[in-house]
């Protein structure tokens, strides 16, 4: 099972500028070939903005690979065949709910659909797929609102729980998939057709019957909110219905950590057509703040444990790094010493381009630990 590096998966400009700065010298070839980007990260504003669309990118960007090259200066990204284009539609739902706090589920779906139509978002999405030579594009859906967190209180809502919403969501997902299928020249091999893990067997069968094509690749969404105890049972149910081995590719969107990714292979087998992503590896690397009241985290290759980076844990982290079997660690012991010491500086209000660069290297390390434990 392949593991994708999620480009622009969160955090601030300082961290992403650092990812771009160190890309050429530090990004493993494996992740250049197994990369996930989000349409919404390119074209949608933060929810607090007055407008959903970023006009400068919307008007001047028609190729996602060119956008990646402009950021990283990496010519190889024009040629990779493993690039996944996710939709990033949680930004649309977050934008709607931020500006319309009292909308119910049906009204949110209606407003989502209005924005899709009025802004001609699917037409832009189709253009990006074709111009960027994308062969793994996730089809549009309306994400369940439990995926959209607020800054205060971690409030969440479950859109599916409201009367009348479930059917509308299924119909909308099918409508958007059909529109994209037609807009890219009716080639299903370019699409990772979205299926929510929360849909019942009957929901999925209805959805597939609404499609104007037979999917050859699938994207399985809605995974992060499944408890570990329920995760394997859900996978078995979906596989019994869909028979994943019949598809050219099955991508598990946002598995929610190493343990759940391991459950996928333990339950279904480590199939060559499987791939997975999650942003936990990234988020833990940039947890640390300048005041030192929160700390970035180092993942250990062997135990899979997350160890917070502080002066007390420094020696332990470096010892564990030196003990990784078969010299498998991506960064050398000397490089990791520099990374850890730089992050300690960052967390002591001594930030610089160098400390941000080393946070970016920790992001790569954490992703590589995930890859090591998932392959």
- Tens digits of per-residue pLDDT, 180-222? 999 999 999 999 999 999 999 999 999 999 999 999 999 999 8
Residue 146 has pLDDT above 60, yes or no: no
∠ CA 12-15-18, rounded to 5°: 145
The answer to whether residues 100 and 166 belong to one domain is yes
The answer to whether residues 44 and 193 belong to one domain is yes
Q: Tell which wins on pLDDT, 13 or 102.
A: 102
In a domain, 21, yes or no: no
Write the CB contacts of 232 (distance below 8 Å, at least 6 apart in sequence). 263, 266, 267
The answer to whether residues 272 and 131 belong to one domain is yes
| 263 three-state secondary structure | helix
**CA–CA gap between residue 156 and residue 159 (Å, rounded):** 10
The answer to whether residues 181 and 117 belong to one domain is yes
Q: What is the pLDDT of residue 151?
A: 37
Q: What is the pLDDT of residue 11?
A: 58
The answer to whether residues 225 and 352 belong to one domain is no
In a domain, 160, yes or no: yes
Residue 149 has pLDDT above 90, yes or no: no
Q: Quick count: other Cβ atoms within 10 Å of Cβ 244?
A: 20
pLDDT tens digits along 22-67: 999 999 999 999 999 999 999 999 888 999 999 999 999 999 999 9
Domain limits at 311? 297-374
Residue 160 has pLDDT above 70, yes or no: no
Q: Return the structure tokens found at 184.
A: 């890219």
The mean per-residue pLDDT over the stretch 63-88 comes to 96
The answer to whether residues 163 and 273 belong to one domain is yes
Domain harbouring 179, CATH code? 3.20.20
The answer to whether residues 271 and 241 belong to one domain is yes
**CA–CA gap between residue 33 and residue 20 (Å, rounded):** 16
In a domain, 17, yes or no: no
In a domain, 223, yes or no: yes
The answer to whether residues 119 and 207 belong to one domain is yes
Q: Quick count: other Cβ atoms within 10 Å of Cβ 228?
A: 11
Q: Return the structure tokens found at 189.
A: 């091999």
In a domain, 171, yes or no: yes
Give the whole-number percent of the chain exceeding pLDDT 70: 94
Number of domains in the chain: 2
Q: Tell which wins on pLDDT, 226 or 358.
A: 358
Residue 340 has pLDDT above 70, yes or no: yes
Spatial contact of 123 and 183, defined as CB atoms under 8 Å apart: yes
The answer to whether residues 117 and 242 belong to one domain is yes
């Amino acid at each position: 099972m392949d593991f994708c590096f999620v480009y622009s998966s969160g955090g601030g400009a300082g961290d992403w500028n650092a990812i771009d700065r160190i890309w050429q010298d530090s990004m493993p070839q494996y992740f250049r070939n197994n990369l996930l980007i989000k349409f919404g990260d390119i074209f949608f504003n933060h929810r607090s903005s007055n407008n959903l669309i970023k006009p400068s990118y919307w008007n001047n960007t028609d190729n996602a690979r060119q956008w990646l090259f402009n950021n990283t200066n990496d010519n190889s990204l024009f040629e990779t065949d493993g690039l996944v284009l996710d939709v990033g539609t949680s930004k649309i739902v977050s934008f709607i709910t931020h500006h319309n706090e009292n909308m119910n589920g049906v009204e949110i779906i209606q407003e989502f659909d209005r924005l899709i139509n009025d802004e001609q978002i699917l037409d832009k999405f189709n253009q990006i797929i074709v111009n960027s030579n994308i062969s793994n594009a996730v089809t549009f859906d309306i994400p369940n609102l439990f995926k959209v967190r607020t800054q205060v209180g971690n409030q969440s809502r479950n859109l599916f729980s409201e009367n009348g919403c479930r059917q509308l969501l299924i119909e909308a997902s099918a409508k958007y998939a059909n529109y994209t299928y037609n807009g890219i020249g009716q080639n299903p091999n370019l699409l990772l057709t979205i299926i929510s893990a929360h849909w019942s067997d009957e929901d999925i069968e209805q959805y597939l019957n609404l499609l104007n094509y037979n999917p050859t690749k699938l994207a399985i969404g809605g995974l992060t909110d499944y408890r570990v105890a329920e995760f394997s049972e859900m996978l078995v149910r979906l596989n019994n219905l869909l028979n994943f081995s019949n598809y050219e590719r099955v991508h598990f969107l946002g598995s929610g950590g190493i343990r759940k990714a391991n459950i996928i292979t333990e339950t279904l087998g480590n199939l060559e057509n499987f791939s997975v992503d999650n942003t936990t590896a990234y988020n833990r690397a940039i947890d640390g703040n300048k005041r030192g009241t929160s700390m970035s985290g180092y993942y250990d290759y062997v135990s899979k444990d997350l160890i917070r980076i502080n002066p007390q844990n420094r020696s332990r982290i470096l010892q564990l790094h030196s003990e990784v079997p078969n010299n498998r660690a991506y960064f050398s012991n000397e490089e990791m010493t520099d990374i850890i010491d730089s992050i300690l500086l960052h967390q002591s209000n001594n930030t610089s381009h160098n400390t941000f660069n080393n946070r970016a290297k920790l992001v790569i390390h954490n992703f590589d630990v995930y890859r090591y434990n998932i392959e």
